[in-house]
Structure 1
């Protein structure tokens, strides 16, 4: 695949950065995919369902912990200012995660019952730990992205994936149930944050001396639009992406949520491997071009073409092979996940092509537009599951969701293209 990208290259440094990230991300994604056939025989669909609900809550709560300031780390012209934004985001992560812990203590049982999974109750206490680790890692991740040190990102991703896999395998063989899946995730998050933090401190420790309270407050004020608009916008976006897991668990059962989770786990691999790496590099290159020229249309167009060339054949292959592959590789009990995957192929295609380019909303600082789109997207996803509920069918819900997702991603792509061309909405 890297050879393909080289043939499609339009800037050697650009492709080299993509290749570096892809190498690390490939290893990081290969590990969980490689052990998935083992995990599906060690854990039940119900276990995967509990884990999916836990991660859904973590994903939604994590949006607020940094105030979304980490997304502003790429914007300051001076590294000293950018590093103050890093510290600001991590400080907020500690504060907000502490408040979240109090909420989990007060509303623990009520939340578990609302989600239709009473056994999730004991794991809710660990949600603030996960959100804190996510906030720290994302802040460090954007700093590394700004500096163009993609090797560090690759190392941290392999660390997280490998350590999580080892713990989850160990937990499965000891019959720990959902505890093995949740515990593996927590340990992977912690180790990857530690590794990335050490790498940054070793080479960028001079920036620590530039941290001052006045500069922290100045950066907080300068980029106040990020928490003002992006917490709501990205909270709605994550809620929309996690809504299928939550609603499948609430409307049907945790096993159904587990089937969907395996589908997402397998479908997410190529997206994270290629589109994620391209998105990281595009964000850095496009930010630089936009700051200097007020436009990054050429980079946008060339990136879009390459994403389309990769996505089209992968999606066609995935559509026809999914049901057979899931049943054969993961066991007969998981054939339903293959049927879900076939239904969700358009989600794979449009997510692959459009998501890496959606950072244009932040690069162009059009957070208001992003918020409006996210609200419409949330309504579309919610409406799709309402249709499925009327038919009392998980498959109908997923068909409606696939259609709604595709339409909204097309709209997002059209808007981000206008922003890349310097046309404001």
Structure 2
């Protein structure tokens, strides 16, 4: 951790370091809690239970992309606080519309598809997930703009405590997959309520701007729904493709092992990365617009993230099957084998993900969309080969890991050139 701070100190302001420290503390707690409770949860729930949860979260994640139409990026991009407040209202109006459309879609698909699925009646709560996604986008980006990093960190911890605590209680009650789903929904409800409160506390900057002002903001930032939205949708589709492929193969237990392995391996390598990403987006944007370059900050940030993430990556590659079997229980050894495959790819994600925000504030949404289309083609081709030709769950996971590893390196190289105008 100290290596990261030293690398950033040479090119970053104290405000950057304070922001990273605030978010890092919240992310650290939000990471430690699931890791400490994982042995208990691993013995209360089977891999198939987590597979059912993944089958709900995959479509919920896709719908979440639509909630804000990606106008949350306009909250950062606006030059004035009044404009940022107007962008928040654009996000909220978009979210209301997205919730209405989700209710309609669930009603239409209920009898022919959703009611008899493994997830069943829980799909009726998809509109709640969409609403929380929109509120989170508006609240977190506004808090980020105002440098309220402590609030963001606290809300992360509250959500994790709610989800993990309820999962344990319901696990002891023998609820199985329903326990995981209920805990997930209640934690979302808590998060949505918290972000509503956060927006209310910043109400002096959120006066209703009027329809004309909203139209001006939409026109000024039309590239976000035109290019960032399809790019975000394709990115999320890429991440969820293994879930859909494993579901089609009918291997719910392998799906649960995959999602749990991805989650647990991702936790330690992104505890710093997520914190840095939120602050990097703000500080690099200011640096880029003032000086025309944020390349030095990008390289120092990436170097620090590599120093932090290489250790956990090597640890998982060497000992993941044994670690999962001992820590989570014998039923999770297969998840350890999957973690070994995913570890290098997730390390590359931790390094590359923060710097890809350069594409947004540099106005390169068209380039981002082009890169995403290339990425989707590669991932879809690889996973289709693993699913349709080889026909094994392991081949699907290998295709996903190798494809995304190459994609993250491609994004990093492109952002290196974009970082200097």
TM-score grouping bracket, smaller chain normalisation? over 0.9
Structure 2 vs 1, CA of residues 88 and 408 (structure 1 numbering), >3 Å: closer, same or farther?
same
Greater shift, 207-216 or 347-356, is seen at 207-216
What corresponds to 2:298 in structure 1? Answer: 300
Deviation at 1:271, TM superposition (A): 3.5
Compute the displacement of 1:102 (Å): 1.1
Alpha-carbon separation, structure 1, partners of 2:282 and 2:174 = 44
- The Cα shift of 1:112 comes to 4.2
Q: How does 1:199-210 map to 2 (within 5 A)?
A: 199-202=198-201, 204-209=202-207
Mapped partners of 1:118, 1:193: distance in 2:
27
Deviations 1:296-335 (A, max 9, x none): 1121121121122222222112211211110101111110
Structure 2 SS opposite 1:421: coil
Aligned runs of 1:164-179 on 2, under 5 Å?
164-179=163-178
1:296-375 matched pairs, under 5 angstroms: 296-375=294-373
SS in 1 for 2:293: coil
- After TM superposition, give the deviation of residue 379 of structure 1 in Å: 1.5
Q: In structure 2, how many angstroms separate the alpha carbons of the residues matched to 1:230 and 1:160?
A: 27
Query: Structure 1 residue 129: deviation in Å?
Result: 0.7
**Within 2, Cα distance between the matches of 1:90 and 1:205?**
14
Q: Take 2:417 and 2:253, find their aligned partners in 1: how far apart are those partners?
A: 42
Task: Give the corresponding residue for 2:50.
Answer: 48
Does residue 1:182 correspond to 2:181, yes or no? Answer: yes
| Structure 1 vs Structure 2 CA RMSD | 1.6
What are the Cα deviations for residues 89-128 of structure 1, in whole angstroms up to 9, with x where unaligned? 0121111111111111111344449xxx822121111111
1:127 maps onto 2:129 in alignment = no
- Aligned residue in 2 for 1:158: 157
SS in 1 for 2:206: helix
Residue of structure 2 in register with 1:73 after alignment:
75
Preserved contact between residue 72 and residue 138 of structure 2 (Cα < 8 Å): yes
**Offset, 1:197:** 3.2
Cross-structure match for 2:33: 31
For 2:245, the equivalent position in structure 1 comes to 247
Any conservation in 2 of the 1:156–1:193 contact (CA below 8 Å)? no
Partner of 1:259: 257
| Alignment partners' CA distance in 2, 1:105 and 1:179 | 22
Report the secondary structure of 1:209's partner residue: coil
The CA deviation string for residues 266-319 of structure 1, in whole angstroms up to 9 with x for no partner, is 012124311100111110101111222232112112112112222222211221
Looking at structure 2, the residues matched to 386 and 46 of structure 1 have their Cα atoms a distance apart, in angstroms, of 23
Aligned 8 A contact 1:52 1:258 in 2: yes
CA distance in 1 between partners of 2:206 and 2:357 (Å): 28
> Counterpart of 2:233?
235
How many residue pairs were aligned?
Answer: 417
For residues 332 and 413 of structure 1, what CA distance do their matches in structure 2 show? Answer: 38
Q: Where in structure 2 are there 5+ consecutive unaligned residues? A: none
Residue 282 (structure 2) pairs with residue 280 (structure 1): no
* Cross-structure match for 2:222: 224
User: How does the TM-score come out when normalised to structure 2?
Assistant: 0.95
| Structure 1 residues 288 and 49: alpha-carbon distance in aligned structure 2, compared to 1, 3 A threshold | same
- 1:6 and 1:94 map into 2 onto residues whose CA distance is 41
Which residue of structure 2 lines up, in the alignment, with residue 60 of structure 1? 62
Alpha-carbon distance in structure 1 between the residues aligned to 2:289 and 2:78: 10
